[in-house]
């Protein structure tokens, strides 16, 4: 049996099954309870509560960093794929993410991260709106 860290386990089993960096960020943020602690039954069962908590917080910070460092063009494709998987229009998906902006933030995210994410989501929404308005033929 190969021993792997809780973070490697999370990345190799759970997160690799989720398409798109926005969906991954959304998923890990959703594992965070009201009090700020994370819960993931399988990870806790295998690695213990403290180790699982640490791995989830580390993954959350890394996923936020990935989103903030991904070019907008790639994120635009990610939004299309993620919204399709969520079963909602891309515009609504972005609105939901924007509304959950504070929940998407990991603990101690770093100065400016919340504003940066908000700007990225706003830019994506503007790109989507602009692209949609150009696609409508004018009479």
H helix or E strand, kind and range, residue 19: none
In whole angstroms, what is the distance from residue 64 CA to residue 60 CA? 6
Q: What is the pLDDT of residues 94-119, one digit of tens each?
A: 999 988 878 899 988 788 899 999 99
pLDDT at 18: 93
Are 19 and 85 in contact, with CB atoms under 8 Å apart?
Answer: yes
Q: What percent of the chain has pLDDT over 90?
A: 72
- Average pLDDT for residues 127-133, to the nearest whole number? 73
pLDDT at 1: 44
**Domain regions of the chain by residue span:** 8-135
Kindly report the pTM of this predicted structure.
0.86
- Average pLDDT for residues 68-78, to the nearest whole number? 94
Inter-CA distances, 60 with 111, 116, 121, 129, 131, Å? 16, 16, 17, 29, 30
pLDDT score of 139 more than 80? no
């Amino acid at each position: 049996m190969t021993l792997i860290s809780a973070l490697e386990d999370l990345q190799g089993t759970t997160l690799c099954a989720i398409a798109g960096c926005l969906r991954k960020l959304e998923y890990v943020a959703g594992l965070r309870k009201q009090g700020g602690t994370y819960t993931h039954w399988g990870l806790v069962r295998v690695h213990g509560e403290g180790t699982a908590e640490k791995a989830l917080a580390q993954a959350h910070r890394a996923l936020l960093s990935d989103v903030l460092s991904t070019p907008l063009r790639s994120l635009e494709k990610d939004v299309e794929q993620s919204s399709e998987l969520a079963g909602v229009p891309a515009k609504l998906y972005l609105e939901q993410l924007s509304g959950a902006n504070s929940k998407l933030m990991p603990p101690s995210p770093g100065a400016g991260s919340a504003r940066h994410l908000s700007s990225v989501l706003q830019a994506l929404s503007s790109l989507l709106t602009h692209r949609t308005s150009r696609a409508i033929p004018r009479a």
